[in-house]
Structure 1
Amino acid sequence: MTLRIHNNDKVLRAPQAIIFDTDNTLYAYDRPHSQALAAAERKAAKLLGVAADEVSGAFARAREDVKRQLGKTASSHSRLLYFQRGIEILGRKTQLVITLDLEQTYWRTFLSHCELFPGVREFLQALRSSGIGTAIITDLTSQIQFRKIIYFGLDDCFDYVVTSEEAGADKPQEAPFRLAIDKLGIDPARIWMIGDHPVNDIAGARPFGISTLLRVDRNHEGRDAGCDVEFDDFTELHQFFFSGKVDGVSQFAGAHAR
């Protein structure tokens, strides 16, 4: 697909700040997750002396249990809690050393398989050069989300980071968006939100009057996501943003940053 504008009035005026989601917006989540979970399950099977399929089933059930108990909170995404509960489901009681080992194995493997989408870094650098504010709203606990941003070398690309742990609630609840807006100190009507999830990112941002941009997978067949823009390529978004079509954005700044 190419970049699709659904609401010219919302995106042909330069924002003062852009808020980004992280997972599946700046990088592809599924492959690193699959590799990391497989590595943790292999280690668990070896350390606990349990068949691989039993480990896999216990961890899947543990994830459901944790999410059901904690609801839409940062801790509901905790691999540490998934592994603790999974080991207990396997009848091994609480095994703190193994649980910590599995969590470290998961995230070490996860990060080693992560890659930013093409054009992300260049777009962020161009925004910085143009004086446009930047922030992140992301679900999960702060420590691992901070580690991801640092791993990608993007820690100097954002003015503010808001995690659902800090906000006390996951998207699309109001708290993370309200906290990011307060930190930026900018009228929401002059803010863009870029994310991959029609509900968590797009529907969550819309009540504030924020302009919404949905990153979709390539060859995506359009759906009514209620967003102002759909795109699948940050390089194309970069070119659009600095093309002169967005009023108040300097073409020179975008070209200089590339």
Structure 2
Amino acid sequence: MGLKKINGIFIDIDDTLYSYAECDAAGRKAVFDYLSGKLNIPQKKIATAYNRARKKTHSNLKGLASSHSRFLYIQGCLEELTNLTPITIVMRAEAVFWKSFMDKIHLRPRILEFLRSIKKAGLKTVVITDLTARVQFEKISKLALDRFVDFVVTSEEAGGDKPSAAIFRVALKKCGLKPSQVVMVGDNRKRDVAGARKLGIRTIIINKELGFKKITLSGILAG
């Protein structure tokens, strides 16, 4: 597959560009600390209620961007613990979560070099990601990647999480390219790879430990 055939790179965010688990753990710890101090409830009890709320939200909203909402997780957690909806505390706790999450976020190795090479080659870069648009935009901004990104498509906008083909169709329409003209780069075989392949999009899977140390644009274009 040569240079003339590939005109765009689709790329995932979470666990592709940075370590999601590290950031999520930092956010949860900060929330549990905050709520424990605010409500005088043991952190272990808060964590248990949070995890139950998370599972319930995922079950009720399966396949939707809102299934990842920390706001809903925290709301459900606090309603279980207090038998009320403590509005101000829910709002504050969600802000605490995302501040700690964003404070922890950092790029995996060699990603900047990879994105610079895409820009230099004149290819379009499209971020394709689950979760809500506002949060994912903030991650891109925090990582200072907005200058490299031409388009963003979230599962909130597309109406469903990967591996739904809908999110890839929206991305193709935005950048005006065909499946044969793009490559999807991601970390998750079930979501990133399976979803892209539904439309015949070529895929590249990254190793979370190595990041982009062994992935180059020239290698992708060479096929």
TM-score by length of 1: 0.82
Deviations 1:175-208 (A, max 9, x none): 1111001111111111100011101000000021
SS at match of 1:234: coil
Contact map agreement 2:165 2:199 (CA 8 A) in 1: no
Q: Which structure: larger Rg? A: 1
Q: CA deviation at 1:45?
A: 1.1
Change (3 A) 1:134 1:84: same
User: Does the residue aligned with 1:217 lie in a helix, a strand or coil?
Assistant: coil
- Aligned AA (1:180): A
Where do residues 80-159 of structure 1 align in structure 2 (5 Å cutoff)? Answer: 80-159=71-150
- 2:37 & 2:101 partners in 1: Cα distance? 20
2:187 to 175, 192, 196: 196
1:109 corresponds to which letter in structure 2?
S
Cα drift, residue 244 of structure 1: 10
Answer yes or no: is 1:13 the counterpart of 2:37.
Answer: no
Amino acid in the other structure paired with 2:108 = F
Q: Which segments of 5 or more consecutive residues in structure 1 lack a partner in the other structure?
A: 1-11, 219-231, 248-258
SS at match of 1:18: strand
Change in 2 beyond 3 A, CA 1:209/1:42: same
Number of aligned residue pairs = 221
Out of 54, 65, 69, the position equivalent to 1:74 is 65
Q: Select which of 173, 198, 207 maps to 1:216.
A: 207
The aligned amino acid for 1:174 is: A
CA contact 2:11–2:184 (8 Å) conserved in 1:
yes
**What residue identity is the alignment partner of 1:13?**
G
One-letter amino acid matched to 1:56 = A
Gap runs ≥5 in structure 2: none
Letter in 2 for 1:242: S
* Contact 2:186/2:204 (8 A) holds in 1: yes
- Residue 237 (structure 1) aligned with residue 207 (structure 2): no
Aligned-pair CA distance for 1:126: 1.3
TM-score calculated relative to the size of structure 2: 0.95
Matching of residue 246 in structure 1 with residue 222 in structure 2: yes
Native 8 Å contact 2:16 2:208 kept in 1: no
Distance 1:25 1:243, change over 3 A: closer
Contact 2:126 2:151 in 1 (8 A): yes
Matched, 1:31 2:22: yes
SS in 2 for 1:194: strand
Q: Deviations over 1:78-126 (max 9, x none)?
A: 0001000100011341011101111111110011111101111111111
Identity of counterpart residues, as a percentage?
36
Cα distance in 2, alignment partners of residues 102 and 45 from structure 1 = 11
Equivalent in the alignment of 1:172 = 163
SS at match of 1:135: strand
Larger % of helix: which? 2
Correspondence 1:61 to 2:52? yes
1: CA distance, partners of 2:66 / 2:221 = 42
